[in-house]
Amino acid sequence: MALTMLCLTMVVFFMINLEPNLRKLSISQLDMRSSDEHIESWLVKNGYRQNFFVRYGQWLGVWPKYPNIDPATGAATSRFTYCNEPAETRFSGVLQGDFGCSTKFKTTVAAKLFPALGATGILMFWVMVTMVPISLLIGILAGMREGTRTDRSLSVAAIATTATPEYVSGVIFTVIFASWLGWLNGSAASATGQGITFYNFTLPVMTMAIYGTGYIARMTRASMVEVMTQQYIRTARLKGLSFGSVVIKHALRNALIAPFTVIMLQFPWLLTGVVIVEVMFRYQGFGFTLVEAAGNNDIDLLLGCSLVSVFVVLFTQLISDVGYAYLNPRIRVQ
């Protein structure tokens, strides 16, 4: 995991620090009419012309950061004054908890990134609380009644929700619940300034939950259908166990192995796929922050967002592998 994070962050660091991005950053900090000499001078002064591996090591915190030297006075100055960076040589990077300075929001990356992650974490929690039980129930009911009208109806509904992207369902929900019925007092835009309430939080949760519900439900149904045809299920039925007892005690645990992996994969999707929903509803979480950072060439904030994304993907994969071994005894034996 550590090696994967190192390789991925190095690739992202290289792409974010390409020449067009550096020029846009310098222009945003100077002036649109700045000459090439002024742009180059600003990049040199702020350390963006150093060796790539030196800069990457400084960002990680394994290579010392040096203060900027004012060419006019020869005095040591900090890179960005609004982040209160000390004008001294020091080890200060990700390993030391210093994620850099946000040029868009004029503050440290940590001060902007972690509150945004907290807001998205609340959104993700309620999406999972809504999505997982409903999708598992739909999948189990459909798998238990394979080929029946119940199975076909639930399968069509699951496919329809999966085929409807967030930007479509979000608009539909906004029109129905906020515009026509007036139940939700507008969209979640008010959540950015008035705090999260039931009314302004409902639309984003519904929009994200309905998209993932169908996918998990279909996987659960397929797994349930496969389990219900196994020999040990027939044996349990021949022993006189009731259908409900067979499903709950024997089929359900084995049927949840594949859906568990799919559910864990929803966390990286929620973290990065939430971009559309948060921008649509002006919900200032991780996705909204990522879009703002990308649109304004906020290099340090983009690097912080990418680091969080890589960590979440790898960590959820680890949890998925451990949980899969716990649910499936054959893996533990092997």
222 and 159 Cβ atoms separated by less than 8 Å: no
Identify which of 47, 1, 42 has the alpha carbon closest to the alpha carbon of residue 23.
42
Reported as a pLDDT band with limits 50, 70 and 90, residue 98 is confident
Domain spans of the chain? 1-100, 110-327
Tokens read off for 48: 């963006």
* pLDDT of 228 over the 60 cut: yes
Per-residue pLDDT of 310-326, as tens digits, reads 888 888 888 877 877 77
Whole-angstrom distance, CA of residue 16 vs CA of residue 9: 10
Residue-level length of the chain: 334
Residue 151 has a pLDDT of 86
80 and 59 Cβ atoms separated by less than 8 Å: no
Q: Beta strands 68-69 and 101-102: pairing type?
A: unpaired
Alpha-carbon Rg for the chain in angstroms: 25
Residue 193 has a pLDDT of 44
Query: What is the dihedral sign for C-alpha 128, 130, 132, 135?
Result: negative
HEC string for the chain: CHHHHHHHHHHHHHHHCCHHHHHHHHHHHCCCCCCHHHHHHHHHHCCCCCCHHHHHHHHHCCCCECCEECCCCCCEECCCHHHCCCCCCECCCHHHCCCCEECCCCEEHHHHHHHHHHHHHHHHHHHHHHHHHHHHHHHHHHHHCCCCHHHHHHHHHHHHHHCCCHHHHHHHHHHHHHHHCCCCCCCHHHHHHHCCCHHHHHHHHHHHHHHHHHHHHHHHHHHHHHHHCCHHHHHHHHCCCCHHHHHHHHHHHHHCHHHHHHHHHHHHHHHHHHHHHHHHCCCCCHHHHHHHHHHCCCHHHHHHHHHHHHHHHHHHHHHHHHHHHHHCHHHHHC
- CATH 1.10.3720.10 is right for the domain spanning 110-327: yes
Burial bucket for residue 27 (CB in 10 Å: 0-12, 13-18, 19+): middle
Reported as a pLDDT band with limits 50, 70 and 90, residue 72 is low
* pLDDT of 11 over the 90 cut: yes
Residue 310 has a pLDDT of 87
- Percent residues over pLDDT 70 in the chain: 89
**Partners of residue 76 on adjacent β-strands:** 69
* pLDDT of 56 over the 90 cut: yes
* pLDDT of 302 over the 50 cut: yes
Highest mean predicted confidence (pLDDT) among 25-34, 49-58, 165-174: 49-58
Reported as a pLDDT band with limits 50, 70 and 90, residue 187 is very low
Work out the mean pLDDT of the chain and round it to a whole number: 81
67 and 89 Cβ atoms separated by less than 8 Å: yes
Q: Model's pTM, two decimal places?
A: 0.78
Average pLDDT, integer, range 182-200: 52
Residue 304 has a pLDDT of 92
Reported as a pLDDT band with limits 50, 70 and 90, residue 200 is low
